[in-house]
Chain A
Amino acid sequence: KAGVTQTPRYLIKTRGQQVTLSCSPISGHRSVSWYQQTPGQGLQFLFEYFSETQRNKGNFPGRFSGRQFSNSRSEMNVSTLELGDSALYLCASSPLTGTGGDGYTFGSGTRLTVV
């Protein structure tokens, strides 16, 4: 079965621009979580969507937002990009929520570079 698909794989944007990243979960998975990975910081939780509702949000500024569609696909948006937003953005899908991470399957990520 198809895995978690994130598009695009690589992106270069200029400071001040906005960007939208996409995540298609495994078929049947209803939970999509987003993480930011930067060197030395590990993976930082951004938000989780389950059945089109945001279930939890990490400690990120309001410039970071997301949504989930009825087919469980999710998008995250970052507005007014800053150099510090350069990171690998990972999406993870799971059949359910509240599973402690069991069943989490990660995509390969989108590498965002802000110049």
Chain B
Amino acid sequence: DQQVKQNSPSLSVQEGRISILNCDYTNSMFDYFLWYKKYPAEGPTFLISISSIKDKNEDGRFTVFLNKSAKHLSLHIVPSQPGDSAVYFCAASENYGGATNKLIFGTGTLLAVQP
């Protein structure tokens, strides 16, 4: 079963506008969430994270929102730039501070920012 779901395989946005990428999860034991960006032929790179005790975390143009009651998180990119075009993965951990680094990833959303 897919514990982390990204239901939109792709998203197209105009340069300068807001990009909103969504992620849903089913496991209430997840206590840490992350977003990664991946370009073709490269490994994923870390973007931003959020602990389950918070509902928002901001880093420059990137903001992640967490709604625990809805088991939903979203990544906002404002303003969007052509260089943001990549696949974005949502990931979750249920063992923060524990004995493993195992992450559960979503299937990814391909963001295309049009100039």
Cα separation A67 to B89 with both chains bound (whole Å): 27
- Out of A42, A56, A106, name the residue touching B102 (CB < 8 Å): A56
* One of A11-19, A72-80, A96-104 at the interface: A96-104
Main secondary structure of the interface of B (DSSP, over half): loop
Q: How many A-B pairs with Cβ below 8 Å? A: 90
A89-101 to B contact mask, C-beta < 8 Å, 1/0? 0101010011111
How many residues of A sit at the interface, in one of the four size bands?
20 to 34
Min CB distance A52 to B, Å, is 15
B24-60 to A contact mask, C-beta < 8 Å, 1/0? 0000000110101000011111100101000000000
Interface residue B81 (Cβ < 8 Å from any Cβ of A): no
Knowing A42-B108, A98-B100, A100-B31 are in contact, say whether A106-B95 is a contact too (CB < 8 A): no
Cα separation A41 to B43 with both chains bound (whole Å): 16
Which residues of B sit under 8 angstroms from A56, Cβ to Cβ? 99-102
Which residues of A sit under 8 angstroms from B97, Cβ to Cβ? 98, 100
Residues of A within 8 A of B (CB): 4, 31, 33, 35, 40-45, 48, 50, 55-56, 58, 90, 92, 94, 97-102, 104-109
- Pick 22 A–B contacts, CB within 8 A, sort by A: A33-B101, A42-B6, A42-B89, A42-B106, A43-B103, A45-B105, A48-B101, A55-B99, A56-B100, A92-B43, A98-B95, A100-B51, A100-B96, A100-B101, A101-B91, A101-B93, A102-B32, A105-B43, A106-B43, A106-B45, A108-B41, A108-B43
Residues of B within 8 A of A (CB): 4, 6, 31-32, 34, 36, 41-46, 49, 51, 89, 91, 93, 95-108
